[in-house]
Chain A
Amino acid sequence: MERKQKRRLRRIILAAALFAAVLAVDRLGVLPAVFTNRYYAMALYLAPYLLCGTPVLRKAVLGVKNRQPFDECFLMTVATVGAFATAENAEAVAVMLFYQVGEWFQDYAVGRSRGSVKALMEIVPTFARVERIGAVETVEPDEVAVGDVLVIRPGERIPVDGTVLSGESWLDTSALTGESVPRRAGEGTGVVSGCINGEGLLRVRCDKVFEDSAVSRILALVEEAAEKKSATEQFITRFARHYTPAVVFSALALALVPPIFGGAWSTWIYRACAFLVISCPCALVISVPLAFFGGIGAASRCGVLVKGSNYLELLARLDTVVSDKTGTLTKGQFKVSAILCAKDVSRMDLLAAVSAAESGSTHPIAQAILRDAAEEGIVPPAAQEVQNHAGSGVTALVSGETVLVGSEAFLEQAGISCTAEVPEGVTVCHAARNGVYLGAVCISDAVKDEAPQAIRALRRQGVRRMVMLTGDRAPAALAVARTLGVDEVYARLLPGDKVAKVEELLATLPAGGRLAFIGDGINDAPVLRRADVGIAMGSLGSDAAIEAADVVIMDDDLRRLPRVMEIARRTVTVSRQNIVFALAVKAAVLIISAAGLATMWTAVFADVGVAVLCILNAMRLLSAHRTVDKDSPERL
């Protein structure tokens, strides 16, 4: 590409120099004998014309031969040949020359943005160090087999997905997730390809071959994203298909009809040629896809994969955001949220009694209590005669005293009244010892720290309705909804109910509004597919979610969503600006040229100038990440 561009540029410069020389001699009248002869003059001007225009002429001929004649090359060929025919030699060369300059610039711009998107994805490891029979060999990443042991030195990129066998280090995951805080890796941690190893030396067992590793999958996604066309892009393609023939026939009519009624042939052919040059659709055809490509690039730079231009367009128009609760808005991890002690009972005493009774249990609630006790430095005393009463509680003998832990009903059955005032929306474990009430431990799933902020930012981006769906009980769901400021909550839903609910919500959308569903990717695949935009969270490594979702937030941070909405809206705005601007300028100049007020020179500038401006406008998106959410204090 690079070499080809340089070669083209050299030809353009050479042709321009030659053209300038011929033009100077012509205008200064140094060689009147040559330039007054029409054929000699044309021959001299043909030299720079052919030098820069041969590829265009060849393509135009090829297009006619393949029965697909109506493209830019055809327009330019007809216009310039027409100009030569009407003895406007200088104009003919200028049109071809400027057209080639515009084309070259387009090519350069596309190359630049392609390069910058590729740079975002500069996560491809180039080698792997494999331990083989005592020696370490350096091989290509795709030669690593599952089960191979890899050595990753400090500063090196992890070549394939795997598990750490030994060593301790920090991993820089920013290339994959946009997250700048490094992630810790130690024995047993799963590591993802594309991350950069920090200070320590790691030995990693390969779990997935290179092709199935995160890096390869992400690259494939980004490449395919450009293939799913947005409605705007499809409109432009369809538009160009009808537009170009329409323009050619209008030009033909402009050249033929007025002379029949007494106009001069040369004047009207000249005007028709100018008309053809102006109407060339290249500004639209290149700048709209370029805008979407830039938008996808900007989104992936902040850690969000948008799987197609069409989704970018939908994200710009989100009206309703439906979210799963556990794992998306909440951490999906039970935690002790309050410890309520009865009179004359110490916190330590209560926790020790409860944790002792629960010490043998693997239930998530028991685990949460044990974790909390361990954090407070409590070693649970040994418990004997532990009896589990399915679903309601536990009895145990701790240091010779009978401890009861369980629901309110369970304790009341034993004749103990629970006096603690328990907040709503939490799971409660009451406790009693030797018939005396000790207090209660409240457990809840904590709301993610960034979730309320993310929801506020979403509203600023124009989301009108926030809905939470959950399989959880209503009180717990309501408590979470209140902290978050969600508009509607639907609790106790089975996965199938979620699809039905989303369908209901889709039916109530206002015209033009779109619905997004955010889930953590587990069991959510049908809902993700059903929503206009399916958004999966924290899915690095979860194949099902990456498959089903349209947008993947690479780390768990919900706040990336409003940023991407902003990028999406900018992309849509820029592509609309380009369409409106290009069409308006062209329409204006077309009318002027048909009326005979525009020269071929104006026409060339209307065409190439508009294309260049549109491309520059589209390229602004590549730097979009720096200007997002500037006036908000909650900037990431």
Chain B
Amino acid sequence: MKKKFNCEIDCANCAAKVEDAIAKLDGVESVRINFMMQKFTLEAPDERFDEVLRAAVAAGKKIEPDFSVEC
């Protein structure tokens, strides 16, 4: 399942760093953070989606404390 969320991210560089970190997580099929549009797109298996999403947001916050996702 692929889902798109509004997110908050401060700079293009931060977006790239957070994206790299989330892409390495288990269960993440693809991830996109669009700084210009402030959009966060995550693709993960249906049955684990919520779990992967939580892990992704947590990993993002670790890199960039200002990163947040509107779920």
Q: Which residues of B contact A237 (CB under 8 A)?
A: 16
Docked Cα-Cα span, A107 to B66, in Å, equals 14
Closest to B17 in A: A68
Among A68, A71, A107, A223, point to the contact of B37 (Cβ < 8 A).
Answer: A223
Q: Which residues of A contact B11 (CB under 8 A)?
A: 285-286
**Complex Cα spacing A71 to B32, Å:** 21
Shortest C-beta distance, A267 to chain B (Å), equals 32
Contacting residues, chain A, for B32 (C-beta < 8 A): 227
CB pair A286–B38 under 8 Å, yes or no, is: no
In the bound complex, residues from chain A placing their C-beta under 8 Å from that of B35 are: 226, 289
Known A289-B36, A293-B36; contact A62-B12, beta-carbon cutoff 8 A? no
Cβ–Cβ contact A66 & B62, under 8 A: yes
User: How far, in angstroms, from A332 to B35 measured CA to CA in the complex?
Assistant: 42
- Chain A 124-151: CB-based contact to B (< 8 A → 1; otherwise 0): 0000000000000000000000000000
**Contact status A226-B12, CB under 8 Å:** no
Is the CB–CB distance between B13 and A71 below 8 Å?
A: yes
- Pairwise interchain contact B37-A226, C-beta atoms closer than 8 A: yes
- Kindly identify which residue among A68, A72, A223 contacts B39, using a CB–CB cutoff of 8 Å: A223
**Given A66-B63, A68-B17, A227-B32, A114-B12 contact (CB < 8 Å):** no
A224 to B41, CA, bound (A): 11
Query: Smallest distance from the beta carbon of B66 to chain A beta carbons, Å?
Result: 8
> 1/0 per position for B3-23, CB-CB distance to A under 8 A?
000001011110011000100
A1 on interface, CB distance cutoff 8 Å: yes
Complexed CA–CA distance, A68 and B32 (Å) = 20
Q: Are A114 and B8 in contact (CB under 8 A)?
A: no
In the complex the two chains form, what is the Cα distance from A285 to B17 in whole Å? 14
Contact of A58 among B8, B16, B65 (CB under 8 A): B65
Query: Is A110 close to B, CB under 8 A?
Result: yes
* Alpha-carbon separation in the docked complex, A71 to B18 (Å): 14
Docked complex Cα distance between A496 and B2 (Å):
35
**Pairwise interchain contact B8-A62, C-beta atoms closer than 8 A:** no
> What residues on A are CB-neighbors of B12 within 8 Å?
285-286, 289
> In the complex the two chains form, is B65's CB within 8 Å of A62's CB?
yes
Q: Is the interface of B mostly helix, strand, loop or mixed?
A: mixed
B16 closest partner in A (C-beta)? A237
A549 to chain B, nearest CB (A): 21
Q: How far is the CA of A327 from the CA of B11 in the complex (A)?
A: 44
Within 8 A of B (CB), among A244-294: 285-286, 289, 293
Known: A58-B65, A62-B65, A66-B63. A227 touches B10 (CB 8 A): no
When distances are taken between beta carbons in the complex, the residues of chain A under 8 Å from B8 are 1
Among residues of B, the one whose C-beta sits closest to the C-beta of A72 is B13
> Which residues of the partner chain B approach A117 to less than 8 Å between Cβ atoms?
36
Shortest CB distance B29–A (Å): 16
Chain A hits for B63, CB < 8 A: 62, 66, 68
Q: How far is the CB of B13 from chain A (nearest CB, A)?
A: 6
Please, how many angstroms separate the alpha-carbon atoms of A117 and B35 in the complex?
A: 13
The 8 A CB mask of A298-334 against B (1 = contact, 0 = none) is: 0000000000000000000000000000000000000
Q: Which residue of A lies closest to B10 (CB)?
A: A107
Nearest Cβ in chain A — how far from B19, in angstroms?
10
What B residues does A59 contact at CB under 8 A? 65
Question: Which residues 20-58 of B have a CB within 8 angstroms of A?
Answer: 21, 32, 34-39
Residues of chain B within 8 A of A289, CB atoms compared: 12, 35-36
Closest Cβ of chain A to B12, distance in Å, is 6
With A and B bound together, what is the CA distance between A16 and B51 in angstroms? 45
CB distance from B22 to the nearest CB of A (A): 13
Measured CB to CB, the closest approach of chain A to B70, in angstroms, equals: 12
Q: How far is the CA of A117 from the CA of B37 in the complex (A)?
A: 9
On whether the beta carbons of B17 and A114 are closer than 8 Å, the reply is: no
Residues of A within 8 A of B64 (CB): 62
Residue pair B65, A114 in contact (C-beta under 8 Å):
no
Contacts of A114 in B (CB 8 A): 36-38
**Looking at A59, A240, A285, A289, which has the most chain B CB atoms within 10 Å of its CB?**
A59
Distance, CA A107 to CA B36, complexed state (A): 11
A71-B14 Cα distance, complex, nearest whole Å: 10
A114 to B8, CA, bound (A): 13
Measured in the bound complex, the distance between the Cα atoms of B33 and A224 in whole Å is: 10
A226 touching B34 in the complex, CB below 8 Å, given contacts A1-B8, A58-B65, A62-B63:
yes
* Chain B neighbourhood of A107, CB < 8 A: 10
Contacts of B10 in A (CB 8 A): 107
What residue in chain A is nearest B62 (Cβ atoms)? Answer: A66
How far apart sit A72 and B11, CA to CA, in the bound complex (Å)?
A: 11
How near does chain A come to B63, taking the closest CB pair, in angstroms?
Answer: 6
Q: Are A285 and B34 in contact (CB under 8 A)?
A: no
Closest to A237 in B: B16
Q: For the complex, what is the distance from the CA of A226 to the CA of B64, rounded to whole Å?
A: 21
**A542-576 vs B: 1/0 string, CB under 8 Å?**
00000000000000000000000000000000000
List the B side residues contacting A68 at CB < 8 Å.
17, 63
Query: Chain B contacts of A293 at CB under 8 A?
Result: 36
A15 to chain B, nearest CB (A): 19
A611–chain B nearest beta-carbon distance, Å: 12
- How far apart are B27's CB and chain A's nearest CB, in angstroms? 21
CB neighbours of A223 from chain B (8 A): 34, 37, 39
A293 to B37, CA, bound (A): 10
Interface string of A28-65 (1 = CB under 8 A from B): 00000000000000000000000000000011001000
A367 to chain B, nearest CB (A): 46
A240 to B32, CA, bound (A): 21
Which 5 residue pairs across A and B have the least CB separation, nearest first? A226-B36, A223-B37, A293-B36, A66-B63, A227-B34
Given contacts A114-B38, A240-B13, could you give 15 more A-B pairs where the C-beta distance is less than 8 Å?
A62-B63, A62-B64, A71-B13, A72-B13, A107-B10, A110-B36, A223-B39, A226-B35, A227-B34, A237-B16, A286-B11, A286-B12, A289-B12, A289-B35, A289-B36
Query: What are 26 A-B contacts defined by CB distance under 8 Å?
Result: A1-B8, A1-B38, A59-B65, A62-B64, A62-B65, A66-B17, A107-B10, A110-B36, A114-B36, A114-B37, A117-B36, A223-B34, A223-B39, A224-B34, A226-B34, A226-B35, A226-B36, A226-B37, A227-B34, A237-B16, A240-B13, A285-B11, A285-B12, A285-B13, A289-B35, A293-B36
